[in-house]
Amino acid sequence: MNNFGPAMTKISATRGTLILLIGVFFVSWAAILIKLSTSEPTTIAFYRMFFSTLMVSLAIPFHKGKWFRARKDLLISLLSGIFLGFHFYTWVAGLKVTSISSSVVLVTTQPIFVAILGYLVLREKVGVYGIIAVILGLLGSFLVARGDLNIDPLHLKGDILSLLGAIFAGSYLFLGRFVRPRVDLIPYVVTVYGVSSLVLLILGLSFGSFAAPARALDYLIFFLMALGPTILGHNLYNYALRHLPAFPVGISILGEPVLATIWGIIIFHEKPLFTTLIGGLVIILAIAIVMLRMKAATEVIS
């Protein structure tokens, strides 16, 4: 029996793997495009989600049926969009003042926070391996932050913001677990992306950090962010989730910090610190443990 289980009756293992690899490839360029933009972080985050909202809205005429069958699903989707907006607000701001490798490694810890929320809110069993994963995740984050602090206190601020971005992303994903089985993809992403855009605009105007793009070229960068990492990257993840078990899809996110670090070395000549590499490996191990535990729990339930 292959590693993908019964769901492979819909698509082959080869096609499923190819879909995930393409998705990871596009998502890994998010940090690079953010670094290439010279605009304010809030401006970058807003236009990425605004263009993403416009793109997914093109699919609205093709959706048949009700958007939300229950008021609770709508409220959860709205809250999910708020968390997604805060995720991009903190992560983009953090990425602007720390290294690509540190930021993407820290923001990838989001599955760990999903597991923590599962325990706190739903009282889901964490188990020994879950506790080990959380400890390893914290240890890896400490190693990354400790190394960056030796460079510049501003790098530490960026690391903290990136970690906050992971917490908000974990909250967004946690809420999505409840809604996605009952709500179709188009209504969900249009609502979530639209709300996140509004949240980013309100935050930017409230803090006085929202400004017009620094150059006309930035509009192209924002468009590419929406088209690549969001539409092609995350939408391929969502497609794979419909046809594959959650485990291979979830574990595939580990490719993002690896590829983003490679692009950072090639394009910006950013050489990650030794502590970042070690901390990153510890975090990747922690996430792998979390995903393995989720896979085991799913098999027991099924």
Is residue 41 a contact partner of residue 270, using CB atoms and an 8 Å limit? no
DSSP 252: G
Give just the sign of the alpha carbon dihedral 179, 182, 183, 189.
Answer: positive
DSSP calls for 22-67: HHHHHHTTHHHHHHH--S-HHHHHHHHHHHHHHHHHTTGGG--S-S
Dist CA 157 CA 144 (whole Å): 12
Dist CA 112 CA 184 (whole Å): 26
Global pTM? 0.84
Tokens of residue 163, six digits: 């970690």
Give just the sign of the alpha carbon dihedral 115, 278, 92, 216.
Answer: negative
What pLDDT, in 10s, does the model give residues 215-260? Answer: 999 999 999 999 999 999 887 876 766 666 655 666 677 788 888 9
What pLDDT, in 10s, does the model give residues 192-225? Answer: 999 999 999 999 999 888 888 989 999 999 999 9
List b or e across 177-192, with b for residues whose CB sees 16 or more CB atoms inside 10 angstroms: eebbeebebbbbbbbb
- pLDDT top residue among 3 and 67: 67
Is residue 190 a contact partner of residue 53, using CB atoms and an 8 Å limit? yes
Say whether pLDDT at 110 is over 80. Answer: yes
Q: Which of 74-88, 141-155, 173-187, 281-295 has the highest mean pLDDT?
A: 74-88
- At 4, the pLDDT band (50, 70, 90 cuts) reads very low
